[in-house]
Structure 1
Amino acid sequence: MIGLWSTGNYIQHYKAPCDPKEVVIDEVVGQLLTVLLVSILLDQEMNSSVLLVCFFSFRFFDIIKVWPINLIDRNTKGPLGIMLDDVVAAILACVFIGAFYCLLLVYAG
C-alpha cells in the first residue's frame, strides 16, 4: 500500500514517466516478497546461498518479463502497474525456486 501511494505521488508531483528508474520501492517489495515466500514454502533457514538464489531469480523474471509479467507491464498503467509486475515476478521466482528445490530433493537425495 505504501508503495502504491508513494509511487503515485512521485509520478504526479514530478510528472515522471510510467516507470521511473529512480523509484525502486517496487523492486524492494519484489525482493522482500521473494525471500518471504521462499522461506515459508521451503521452511528453510535463510542463508547467503538461498538469498542469492532469491535475488537472481527475482531479477531474472523482473528483467526478462515473461508472461504474465509482460502483459501486466504493457496493459496496467500507473502505480498499480509499476508495483504489480514486480509482485508477479516475485511469485514466479518462488515457483521456479520451489520447482528447482523439489528437483534437487528427488535427484540429489
Structure 2
Amino acid sequence: MVVVVGPRAQPSSGGPSGTATPQATDGTEPGSWVPVMTGAGSAATTVVVGSADESTGVVALIRSDDAAVTTVDSVGQAPAAVSTPLALVATEAGTVGHYGFDQGATAVMPPVPG
C-alpha cells in the first residue's frame, strides 16, 4: 500500500509578463504527478492526499483527469487524517473514490469497513 502526500499548489512568478504560473512547493509542475500516480495506482493500492481547493492542486488534477486513483483532499486537516487509512482499506477492497470537501469529491469520508 502506498500513501502519497502531495504538495499544495502555490503561485510562483513565471511567464515573461510576470504572471503567476502554478507550481508545487517542491518546484515541480503539479500536472506531472498525474501519470506518476496513475502508474502507482495500477501497481499497488495507492491513495493520494493533497490539495483540491484550487484547480492546480495535485488532487484536483488527478480528479479532473478521471485517473483511477483514490484521492483525499484537505491535506493537513483532521478529516484527511481520518479518511486516509479508511481510503486505503476501501481501495484495497476495490473501491476507487475521491474523498473530502472540494470539487470532484464523491463522498466526504470513505466507507467504514464492517
- Whether the TM-score (by the shorter chain) exceeds 0.5 is no
Greater fraction helix: 1
* TM-score in terms of structure 2 length: 0.29
| Bigger Rg, structure 1 or 2 | 1
By percentage of residues, which structure has more strand?
Answer: 2
Name which structure has the greater RCO, CA cutoff 8 Å, separation 6+: 1
